[in-house]
Amino acid sequence: MTSQEMPFHPLIDTPLEVVFDTQASLQLEETVKRWLWTGGTGGYIIGPARIGKSFAVRRLVDRLRNRQQRRVPVIYTSINRRDIKTIRGVFNNLCLSVNVPVSKSDSSDVLAARFVQHALDLVSLYQTYQIVLIVDEMQRLSLDQLYAFSEIFDAFETARIRLMSVFVGNQNESNQLLDQIHQSTNDHIYGRFFRQHTSFYGVQSESALREILTQYDSFTYPDNGPSFTAYFLPRAVEQGWRFVNMASDIWRVYCDQFCQEEESQLTMEICRATLDILLMDFLPRLTVVHDYDDALITEAFYVAGI
């Protein structure tokens, strides 16, 4: 049976809804949680482009809890690319991210007030005094636009609510903005939002890859149904084979053929695409799944767009 003939399966039909934990994403969650628990007002996350930062921070929306283990409201926004970078553009972006109506005639003050009120309503709903704002693609911001987030922070402070703003950016593209932030003339912005930081990385080792493959072998659909691996390779799984068995070979092929000396980490985007292609398309074509070879793995990497 080919994937085209199969009924609904999340790996095929809603792949963005399937989130695998990685060593990097779990470490990131612990770091942001530590910032939250210690009363942090902000921080930034930096890493290579397409490494998996956005997936990692979006998963925090439903996972962050305070010391009392109550969920903390998290708002995620991604900064749009604009020719003219204005403070109003930031407030407009924030409102759209939480489905607050906007119009071209709305002033910055009006948009800011609407966003803050929406966020305060969330805080009341969650019955907490904290809220987290995640700002993705920070490299698209100008220094002046960062003062919009300072204005929002002040509004929450007046309401006795602790706002923690977490900025996420690509390491090379963010350098110019970070250099400006670290100048003494911008101590206010630096101290409030950028004193704490952490780096995000991709799949850096065979053990990290193995942990991802293990989730293919353990995640089920439906809840009482077969594992993802068993769904696509039922006969092989019945005979005791598991996707994680390929970890060493996949990592070896990656290192031998695609790993540059200065960059040993595999982006989560390419890793996930390669594994999906192997599981859903390439391995089911084999009469015996054990008959895969390096050429098959190499082709999967190429199809994934490495």
Judgement on whether residues 188 and 103 belong to the same structural domain of the protein: yes
Residue 6 confidence (pLDDT): 61
Give dist(CA 155, CA 132) in Å, integer. Answer: 14
Judgement on whether residues 277 and 172 belong to the same structural domain of the protein: no
Judgement on whether residues 256 and 181 belong to the same structural domain of the protein: no
Residue 5 confidence (pLDDT): 59
pLDDT in tens, the chain (306 residues): 454 556 899 999 988 889 899 999 999 999 999 999 999 999 999 999 889 999 999 999 999 999 999 999 999 999 988 867 899 999 999 999 999 999 999 999 999 999 999 999 999 999 999 999 999 999 999 999 999 999 999 999 999 999 999 999 999 999 999 999 999 999 999 999 999 999 999 999 999 999 999 999 999 999 999 999 999 999 999 999 999 999 999 999 999 999 875 456 799 999 999 999 999 999 999 999 999 999 999 999 999 998
Judgement on whether residues 116 and 234 belong to the same structural domain of the protein: no
Of the residues 199, 222, 250, which one is the last residue of a structural domain? 199
Total domain count for the chain? 2
Task: Determine the structural domain holding residue 161 and report its residue range.
Answer: 23-199
Question: Among 158, 161, 151, 154, which residue's Cα sits nearest to residue 120?
Answer: 161
Judgement on whether residues 60 and 15 belong to the same structural domain of the protein: no
CATH code at position 174: 3.40.50.300
Judgement on whether residues 213 and 181 belong to the same structural domain of the protein: no
b (16+ CB within 10 A) / e for 192-213: bbbebebebbbbeebebbbbbb
Judgement on whether residues 131 and 220 belong to the same structural domain of the protein: no
Give dist(CA 289, CA 37) in Å, integer. Answer: 47
Residue 9 confidence (pLDDT): 92
Judgement on whether residues 53 and 194 belong to the same structural domain of the protein: yes
Of the residues 145, 173, 199, which one is the last residue of a structural domain? 199
Contact, 297 vs 250, CB < 8 A? yes
Q: Where are the beta strands (DSSP E) in the chain?
A: 42-47, 74-78, 130-136, 162-170, 197-199
Judgement on whether residues 35 and 177 belong to the same structural domain of the protein: yes
Judgement on whether residues 137 and 183 belong to the same structural domain of the protein: yes
Of the residues 155, 170, 199, which one is the last residue of a structural domain? 199
Residue 82 confidence (pLDDT): 82
Judgement on whether residues 149 and 258 belong to the same structural domain of the protein: no
Judgement on whether residues 46 and 9 belong to the same structural domain of the protein: no
Which residues are paired to 45 by β-bridges?
168, 198
